[in-house]
Amino acid sequence: MVRLTLTGNHCVAYAVKLSKVKVVSAYPITPQTTIVEKISELVDLGDADIKMIRVESEHSALAAVYGAATAGVRAFTATSSHGLLYMHEMVWWVAQARVPLVMAVVTRTIGPPWNIWTDHHDIMDQRDTGWLIMMAENNQEVLDETIKLFKITEDPEVYLPGIVGLDAFILSHTVEPVEIPEQELVDSFLPERRQPYVIKSGEALIMGNVPSDLLTNSRMRWDIHLGLRRAEKVIDRVDMEWGKLTGRRYGGLTECYKCEDADYLFVGIGAWVGDMRLAADRLRAVGMRFGVLKIRYVRPFPYLRVLDSVRGKKGVLVFDRSVSAGSAGPLFLDLVSHMYPHRLNIPIKNVVAGLAGYEVNYEDFFRIGESFVKEVSETGWVSEFLEFYPGR
Amino acid sequence: MPLTIRDLPKEKYVLPGNAACPGCPEAMGLRYVGMALGSKAILVIPAGCTSIIQGLMPGSGLSFPIVNVAFSSADAVASGVAVAKELIAEESVVVVWAGDGATADIGFATLSGAAERNDNIIHICVDNEAYMNTGIQRSSLTPLGAWTTTTWRGKTEPKKNMPLIMISHGVPYVATASVAYPMDFIEKLRKAASIKGFKYIHLHAPCPVGWRFDPSETVEIARLAIETGMWVLMEAENGKIRISPPSKPYIDKNRRKPLKEYLERQGRFRDVSNELIKELEKEVDEYWELLIRLSSQ
């Protein structure tokens, strides 16, 4: 075990090397660029045995790693924002072809205007595609989860691709002390690549021709949903396995911070969950018992786990760093749509904040939490279920 | 020794149950790909007629390993497949089988990228000179004057010269072929398979449905394209252009049949004016002059 100070992006690069990925293809885009730069450096120094395909676009980047993965080797790509949108067609294609591979998404605002700072519109735009989607809170988690995702996506119960998400600059370009596991440890954790089929010369296997039977096609489509549901158990199991080897467990699908005795919960994804923890502590210090529910996997959406965490609370505040324009924040929508059928009727509010990279920190969460408690305790409910946080 | 029909393998790669139209040049071309490359071929196929020709899942009318892929992604997918096969030391020839749209239009950036990287694949452009699978819409490879369902009065722009564009990429091998000259096509495919790096073969593929001729005449129309000089068979190894034997007689302009003989057999040129025919003839002559100049260097 080595301890280094690394940016989130370099954590991704080391995880890719340790996972013995064979093919990497990517197209530069800020803030993803330093991932492929670092992998290229590791390759050129002879530290990583990876074949790079330096393509002309993100659409081709995902196409190339799809080709490599379908031909039988472990493959990886990374992108952000407009790059992710440009490859969106291939995002669907890879999932429906049931080809496991891993992609890092460094979340970034979508233009116009041109804006490189973090928000979550790019990653949340992929929710319906059939990929596993996780958001990391810190750089150690970025490194660990990238390795784990290879194991999760290549599990026969799952056989779907996966995204590890990290916030632009807050994680991607900020150094933190990180433990790098030994290669032997990763080797003992990560089995040889498994995948549902391999395209080989001399074997007339055809992937993707027109179906004769639409019910079969329909079932294939639904099985992507079932695969993601099955992934819930795999994610939790792999989290325990990794925990045993490294001492680092993250809770699998979700992580709860002081949830048990909390009256109120912050719910969120990504790097700003760290600020929520700090805000919860400060609020507790002034008599408001807050906890934080960090949703690690947006897909599969761990609704049973989430419902268990929010049940019996006096109020829930869901923070979204993106908005499904014309509706509400996507995390909130996922949560409330599972609350009603489970007869869970508690005050819940969606705060959309930090769009376009606008800075939101623990003081903001503190103030929002404070006024939420005031509103709920005075009226017993919330007047506006959806609010845009205008900043201080 | 020139290749003869006796040298060709008996294995069939285009089977009953395929969904090609009568007289389809793509089915012919795929048969030749099977004869040339046999069991080493892995086909990567973007959206187009061959998406349908393959027949219905879970069966198939083609007996190649095939990865069907999104329209503009084929060469990048093929690059990935080729790299992976090299890493695991599995002998294979990775072939992109793409129409004129997936080659010259929507797929052009991807094709150009793979060519510039000199990735170890063969790109075959099956050129039926319009978007036939969606119902005969014009492409950048539709010739001047041709009727399509998006150019009812005839296309107003000339055909883009893809072979020269690909030669300009500096790739090790570029060739043109025609479904009327299978031996020439098969030899070129085998040569391409023996060369490491990016190979481009442009297969002229007259489509009875889209060009408005009888399905029994596909080979005749394809041959007329050569005999009138409208399509030239050639190859360029490391940029060195040579006219291929079937087209050699037509270096002499006087031996070319009048272009009219090619045009009047096709309904798509029914309304072409005499002035436009002159313009097309001029186009043909100028291209030949350029090719003769380039091939003599």
Identify all chain A residues contacting B113, using CB atoms and an 8 Å cutoff: 55-57, 60
Question: DSSP states of A158-171 as a string?
Answer: T---EEEEEETTTT
Q: Are A53 and A80 in contact (CB under 8 A)?
A: no
- pLDDT tens digits, residue range B224-269? 999 999 999 999 999 999 999 999 999 999 999 999 999 999 999 9
Residue ranges making up the domain that contains A271: 254-388
Residue A282 confidence (pLDDT): 98
Residues A176 and A272 reside in one and the same domain = no
Domain boundary among A193, A214, A246: A246
Residues A352 and A235 reside in one and the same domain = no
Residue A187 confidence (pLDDT): 98
Q: With 90 as the cut, is the pLDDT of residue B297 above it?
A: no
How near does any CA of chain B get to the CA of A359, in Å?
Answer: 38
Residue A392 confidence (pLDDT): 81
User: CB atoms < 10 A from the CB of B169, how many?
Assistant: 16
Residue A205 confidence (pLDDT): 95
Report yes or no for ipTM above 0.90: yes
Residues A205 and A225 reside in one and the same domain = yes
Residue B202 β-bridge partners: B125, B176
What element of type H or E holds A238?
A: helix A214-246
Residues A301 and A202 reside in one and the same domain = no
- pLDDT tens digits, residue range B59-84? 899 999 999 999 999 999 999 999 99
Domain boundary among A196, A211, A246: A246
Q: Are B201 and B167 in contact (CB under 8 A)?
A: no
Residues A71 and A217 reside in one and the same domain = yes
Instruction: Give me the mean pLDDT over the A308-323 stretch.
Output: 97
B51, B73, B91: residue with CB nearest A201: B91
How near does any CA of chain A get to the CA of B43, in Å?
Answer: 9
Handedness of CA B33, B81, A156, A77 (dihedral sign): negative
Backbone angles phi, psi at A274, to 5 degrees: -60, -40
Burial class for B235, CB neighbours closer than 10 Å (0-12, 13-18, 19+): buried
Domain boundary among A190, A222, A246: A246
C-alpha closest to that of A277 among A173, A177, A361? A361
Under the banding of pLDDT at 50, 70 and 90, the label for residue A384 is very high
Contact A67 B81 (CB under 8 A): yes
Compare A43 and A391 and report the one with higher pLDDT.
A43
How many folded domains does chain A comprise?
Answer: 2
Residue A1 confidence (pLDDT): 80
How near does any CA of chain A get to the CA of B54, in Å?
Answer: 7
Residues 14-73 of B with CB under 8 A from A: 39-42, 44, 51-52, 54-60, 62-70, 72-73
Contact B80 A63 (CB under 8 A): yes
Residue B296 confidence (pLDDT): 85
Residues A291 and A344 reside in one and the same domain = yes
Identify all chain A residues contacting B15, using CB atoms and an 8 Å cutoff: none
CATH of the domain at A185: 3.40.50.970
Residues 218-247 of B with CB under 8 A from A: none
Under the banding of pLDDT at 50, 70 and 90, the label for residue A337 is very high
Q: Determine the residue of chain A that is closest to B19 in CA distance.
A: A210
Q: Are A80 and A122 in contact (CB under 8 A)?
A: yes
A61, A65, A67: residue with CB nearest B78: A67
Residues A275 and A170 reside in one and the same domain = no
What is the C-alpha to C-alpha distance for residues A374 and A381, in angstroms, rounded to an integer?
10
- pLDDT tens digits, residue range B81-127? 999 999 999 999 999 999 999 999 999 999 999 999 999 999 999 99
Q: Which amino acid is at A124?
A: M
C-alpha closest to that of B64 among B129, B18, B116? B18
The per-residue pLDDT of chain B, averaged, comes to: 97
B63, B64, B117: residue with CB nearest A54: B117
Only one residue has tokens 């670092």, namely A38
Under the banding of pLDDT at 50, 70 and 90, the label for residue A391 is confident
The angle at the Cα of A78, spanning A74 to A84, to the nearest 5 degrees, equals 125
Q: Are B109 and B46 in contact (CB under 8 A)?
A: no
- pLDDT tens digits, residue range A88-137? 999 999 999 999 999 999 999 999 999 999 999 999 999 999 999 999 99
What does each C-alpha distance from B271 to A185, B141, B148, B207 come to in angstroms? Answer: 74, 19, 12, 19
CATH of the domain at A264: 3.40.50.920
Contact B116 A25 (CB under 8 A): no
Residue A283 confidence (pLDDT): 98
Residue B225 confidence (pLDDT): 98
Q: Are A270 and A135 in contact (CB under 8 A)?
A: yes
Residues A327 and A379 reside in one and the same domain = yes
Domain B5-295 falls in which CATH fold? Rossmann fold (3.40.50)
What is the C-alpha to C-alpha distance for residues B197 and B48, in angstroms, rounded to an integer?
25
| Radius of gyration for the alpha carbons in chain B, expressed in angstroms and rounded | 18
Q: Are B197 and B171 in contact (CB under 8 A)?
A: yes
CB pairs under 8 A between A and B: 166
Residues A374 and A272 reside in one and the same domain = yes
Contact A67 B110 (CB under 8 A): no
Contact B57 A211 (CB under 8 A): yes
Residues of chain A above pLDDT 90, percent:
99
